[in-house]
Amino acid sequence: MRSTRKTTRGLQVWVALTGLALVACSGGPKPPAGEREGGAPAADAVDAQGSHAASQVTTEANAAAAAALALADQQDFEDARRGLVAGEGDVVVAGAGDRPIWDTRDYDFVAGEAPPSVHPSLWRQAKLDGLHGLFAVKPGIWQVRGYDVSNMTLIRGKTGWIIVDPLTARETAQAALGLARKHLGDLPVVAVIFTHSHLDHFGGVDAVLPEDPAARARVRIIAPRGFIEEATSENVLAGVAMGRRASYQFGTGLPKSARGHVDTGLGKGIARGGIDLIEPTDLIDRTPQAMDIDGIEFIFQYAPQSEAPAELTFYLPQFQAWCGAEIVSHTMHNLYTLRGAKVRDALLWSSYIDDTIERFGDTEVVFASHHWPVWGRERVRDYLEKQRDVYRYIHDQTLRLANQGATPQEIAEHLKLPAALEDTFAVRGYYGTTRHNAKAVYQFYFGWYDANPAHLDPLPPEQAAVKYVAAMGGAAAVLGQARTAFDAGDYRWAASLLDHLVFAEPGNVDATELLARTYEQLGYQAESGVWRDVYLTGALELRHGPQVTALDPEVALALLRHLPLGRFFDAMASRLDGPEAEDEELRINFVFTDLDESWVLEIDNAVLHAHRKEPDPDADATVRLTREMLARLSVGQAGLREMIFSEDFEVEGSRTALLRFFSLLDRSSGDFPIVTP
């Protein structure tokens, strides 16, 4: 157990109780003063964060990658610029108190040729993702791109706008819709479509809805079945750890520079504003499902358990246009996301795209929730076939090799895409990668155990590290071998050696710095934006400690208001300190005065169970409260004083028992170390 992990307890049921895995994005440190134009320090300089330049090995590796790729191909750039209606130069969106929400100027350094510290293919993707403005997809369909990590699509109905995916934050959504209305007309919003249950596709909804309550109530909200459940709870139970890991995946502590965060591969980054959620009025639960929305015919495809647990796509016959949501993008996507989530079903994902090819074969344009469209029937079919086949190939070949006895690591090392896929930019590993997606397929079918008995019950990292270092001749010997590997450009081996040494001797400054430099070079060579962020965040943490920003309570509150109570209490149970609760027997009634609903929570055998039923007359205590009070308690907006004096909170029975109940719940701080013990 890592001794530096922190927990606290108390009456407040903070957001850590439910564990919402919202990325608490900080902008990261700014590039240091004195850097050359373009955000790159002089080649031999060490910047303010301690980052070093690309090594000769990395420089040569990235140059070789550039020579092997058709980087001069302009088709994607032509598509990404096609249909530009209007752009506003720099896009700067501020929140309350001028807090930065979105600023495209942060990425001005992405210009010209790729520097040695960035994989040239990722640099190309970063340029494409940096194109922003209002674009026509077809007469009647427009997209605002580059105002958030995701796209906002606008479809003109008979009487108003149909909005598809209103971005992550209300501030960016307001700016995007404002741009569209300025150039296309100030029509009312008559419907909103949430393509799936990830935050960057619904969080800005409040900004696109009318202020008048009566008009707002008339707006149709269309979403896939299970949307609310998945939108509020996908990351709840494991949320604290998932949020911490997400800071690695998205590089939220990194400077935006040629030695830091460049691009996620799916878009520039995640907006850091206010979020909202609204209940759907119409659910999509089958394929095909036809629906008339303000005079426009939609044919929906229900696509759950693909890129998101709840997802849909749709076809517009009158436009011969298909919205692929996020099951197609201009990147290989994640079958397993590095922030941690349930593994996705590669076979099912591929089958949805295959169904689209067969069902909507006359499609003339594909647009999606990220990136730019593809036009022309032949190009559309080729694009969709390759999107379909990349997931099917990884699925089938992983199983073929597994059935020959290969382990996940062996499969990841040897599985290569065929040239037809490998040479296609739209399925290259800017976000997901062949390596970690192959491991995901293995995990989907076989779980974590690779059948090697040595891996069944190995020593934990700290104990193993001490023994490995001793077996290799001590710290000095291991450090010497690691330096030799680093100098030879064998960074993966250097990282393995130094990881053991840092875990055995976390105070070893030389080992820590060399591991940071090793992670830097691995990050500089990564084509995947998220792999780059993971490596460079590891280096930053080794030098400066965890880079964690507190979660905005308002962000969590917007989702907690919609979180099903059963899921909330499941999350509460996952915070119970089992050893501390071993001899406890407690029963607490929760009566929600505004919902006419009651739950009985019981601790026995060091497990917390929650059942929706009438209050137990023999319970140790009964809490009467509102749903809103529970949400405010969860994010720390209400504490002991508010509970005592609030009309929305009342306690009957033993307050001592209630205090004991809450004292058994851990509050994880979310700043635990990752690259050190």
Tens digits of per-residue pLDDT, 337-385?
999 999 999 999 999 999 999 999 999 999 999 999 999 999 999 999 9
Judgement on whether residues 163 and 141 belong to the same structural domain of the protein: yes
- CATH code of the domain containing 258: 3.60.15.30
Report the alpha-carbon distance of residue 439 to residue 108 in Å, rounded.
Answer: 36
Judgement on whether residues 97 and 191 belong to the same structural domain of the protein: yes
User: Could you tell me where the beta strands, DSSP code E, fall in 18-160?
Assistant: 84-86, 92-94, 100-103, 133-138, 141-145, 152-156
Judgement on whether residues 291 and 377 belong to the same structural domain of the protein: yes
Judgement on whether residues 504 and 621 belong to the same structural domain of the protein: no
Strand partners, 621: 588, 653
Report the alpha-carbon distance of residue 516 to residue 497 in Å, rounded.
Answer: 13
Judgement on whether residues 521 and 648 belong to the same structural domain of the protein: no
Judgement on whether residues 201 and 313 belong to the same structural domain of the protein: yes
Compare 234 and 73 and report the one with higher pLDDT.
73
Judgement on whether residues 484 and 615 belong to the same structural domain of the protein: no
Judgement on whether residues 538 and 581 belong to the same structural domain of the protein: no
Nearest to 481 by CA among 493, 471, 470: 493
Pull the structure tokens for residue 264.
């996620």
- CATH code of the domain containing 632: 3.30.1050.10
Is the confidence at residue 333, as pLDDT, over 50?
Answer: yes
Compare 566 and 45 and report the one with higher pLDDT.
566
Judgement on whether residues 379 and 513 belong to the same structural domain of the protein: no
Q: How confident is the model at residue 551 (pLDDT cuts 50, 70, 90)?
A: low
- CATH code of the domain containing 464: 1.25.40.880
Report the alpha-carbon distance of residue 531 to residue 540 in Å, rounded.
Answer: 14
Judge whether 52 lies within some domain: no
Q: What is the pTM of this model?
A: 0.93
Is the confidence at residue 583, as pLDDT, over 50?
Answer: yes
Last residue of a domain, one of 544, 560, 581: 544
* Mean pLDDT score, 387-412: 98
Judgement on whether residues 618 and 536 belong to the same structural domain of the protein: no
Judgement on whether residues 534 and 590 belong to the same structural domain of the protein: no
Last residue of a domain, one of 521, 544, 567: 544
**Beta-strand pair 220-224/282-284:** parallel
Q: Which range (250-254, 535-539, 548-552, 615-619) has the least confidence?
A: 548-552
Q: How many domains does the structure of the chain reveal?
A: 3
Report the alpha-carbon distance of residue 226 to residue 239 in Å, rounded.
Answer: 19
Judge whether 534 lies within some domain: yes
Tell me what pLDDT residue 44 has: 66
Tell me what pLDDT residue 549 has: 65
User: Could you tell me where the beta strands, DSSP code E, fall in 267-331?
Assistant: 282-284, 289-293, 296-302, 312-316, 321-323
Domain carrying residue 327: 72-343+364-387
Report the alpha-carbon distance of residue 659 to residue 572 in Å, rounded.
Answer: 15
Is the confidence at residue 469, as pLDDT, over 90?
Answer: yes
Element (H, E) at 541: helix 529-544
Percent of residues, the chain, with pLDDT higher than 90: 83
Judge whether 436 lies within some domain: no
